Amino acid sequence: MIPDYRVYSLSIKQRLIFYASAAIALIGLAHLFYDHMVVSLLFCCLVYPASTCYSGYLAEKRQRELTYQFRDLLYALSSSVSAGRQMRESLKEARTSIELIYGKEACISRELEHMVTRMEESKETEESVLQDFALRSAIPDIISFSDTYAVCKRTGGNMEKAIRKAVAILIDRIELEREIRTLTAQKRMEFIILIAMPPVMILFLRVTSGQYLAVMYETSAGRVLMTMAFLAIGVAAAIAFRMTRIRL
């Protein structure tokens, strides 16, 4: 069971690979802008904040994948409920079909296994396990479905109609997000190229005519200008990330 989908804990292997890759990239970037080994080593202190950002990115990616998987779960639940089965039985049947689609290691498969186990061994209600899943997922569509099911169960509402409505809303949201990501894909690539151009130009000048940039590394004014250029690139990268970040 994953306690909170908003938090992604890197494994030891993932941490080692990321720390090594980030350290090499930061040292190379610092050496490119400052040509000073001490400054380059100091840039390694940014590895930990970078790992936090990377964990956040992986958490968002996992939530997005879970949303797609939840859509297929709703399809399975809709079929079972339409056949006259209760939600408890529908969840048990959905576990088998979801495992065939995504495998046992997928997030939604592990969640279903956990829910079924709690219902069978701890005698918890399907309402409580769905609410727990919704709170830990922090995904609006799952929270909305859990609340809708709780209301339908208490008031005797049409569960089949509620599930179909949830499926329709979720599909519309997913398709809209995909369209937006497709439309912004070119802009994201343009941002990456524009942000990468200054470091590439500096590298090109250092390789072809190192003396041309010597004044930027040997004088105080040059170091200040290089620092301003480095900060400007960082700010541009942050703005580009925020502008192309898709959250519906």
pLDDT in tens, 85-117: 888 888 888 888 898 889 888 999 999 998 988
- Say whether 84 sits in a helix, a strand or coil: coil
Confidence at residue 104, expressed as pLDDT on a 0 to 100 scale: 87
In a domain, 5, yes or no: no
Using the predicted structure, report yes or no on whether residue 210 has a pLDDT greater than 90: no
- Average confidence (pLDDT) over 188-211: 85
Number of CB atoms found within 10 A of residue 244's CB: 17
* Nearest by Cα to 19 from 45, 58, 38: 45
156: in domain: yes
Over residues 141-191, the pLDDT tens digits come to: 888 888 888 888 888 777 777 777 777 787 788 778 778 878 778 888 888
Task: Give the pLDDT of residue 108.
Answer: 92
Residue 1 has which token pair? Answer: 């069971």
Is 2 domain-assigned?
Answer: no
Indicate whether this model's pTM tops 0.85. no
Return the closest-CA partner of residue 98 out of 121, 114, 85. Answer: 114
Helix, strand, coil percentages, rounded to 5, for the chain? 85, 0, 15
pLDDT digits (tens, 9 = 90+) for 4-39: 888 888 889 999 999 999 999 888 888 888 888 888
Tell me if 248 sits within 8 A of 176, measured CB to CB.
Answer: yes
Looking at residue 246, what is its pLDDT? 66
188, containing H or E segment: helix 159-208
Q: Report in angstroms the alpha-carbon separations of 82 from 98, 150, 174, 204.
A: 18, 18, 24, 65
**CB of 62 within 8 A of CB of 5?**
yes
Number of helices and strands in the chain (H, E): 10, 0
> Is residue 167 domain-resident?
yes
Asked if pLDDT for residue 234 goes beyond 80, the answer is yes
Helices (H), 46-158: 47-82, 87-102, 107-121, 126-137, 140-155
Report the C-alpha gap between 39 and 9 in whole angstroms.
30
Within a domain: residue 115? yes
Domain of 178?
12-243
> Which of 233, 194, 238 is CA-nearest to residue 32?
233
Whether 54 maps to a domain, the answer reads yes
Instruction: Over range 68-78, report the average pLDDT.
Output: 86
Count of the separate structural domains present in the chain: 1
Residue 182 lies in a domain: yes
> Per the domain annotation, does 20 fall within a domain?
yes
